[in-house]
Amino acid sequence: MIKIEIYHDGEFYCARCIDDLDIFSQGKTLDEVVKNIKESIMLYFEDEPLELAGFDPNPYDHLGQGDAQTVAG
């Protein structure tokens, strides 16, 4: 599972992977940032089978199914 943090910086929603992955995205709405971070993750692993990299081949099955935490900025 890939863990991401989503926060609002005042103008945009921002999302970043909180693992050792250097993946970041942003969007004007929460739906847009979720769509954008999914696309960024897929592009990051585009040429590598997820199973061989140690990841779930369906990483988005868990997205939105956890405890959400609000981060004040």
Give all strands of the β-sheet with 24-27 in edge-to-edge order.
4-8, 13-17, 24-27
pTM here is: 0.65
Taking residues 5-13, what's their average pLDDT?
95
Its domain, for residue 21, covers 4-54
Residue 48: per-residue pLDDT = 74
Residue 33 lies in a domain: yes
Residue 73 lies in a domain: no
Residue 2: per-residue pLDDT = 85
Confidence tier at 15 by pLDDT (50, 70, 90):
very high
pLDDT in tens, 29-41: 999 999 999 999 9
Q: Which of 59, 66, 12, 22 is nearest to 38 (CA)?
A: 59
What 3-state DSSP class applies to 39? helix
Q: Are the C-beta atoms of residues 3 and 18 closer than 8 Å to each other?
A: yes
Residue 68 lies in a domain: no
- What's the structural domain count of the chain? 1
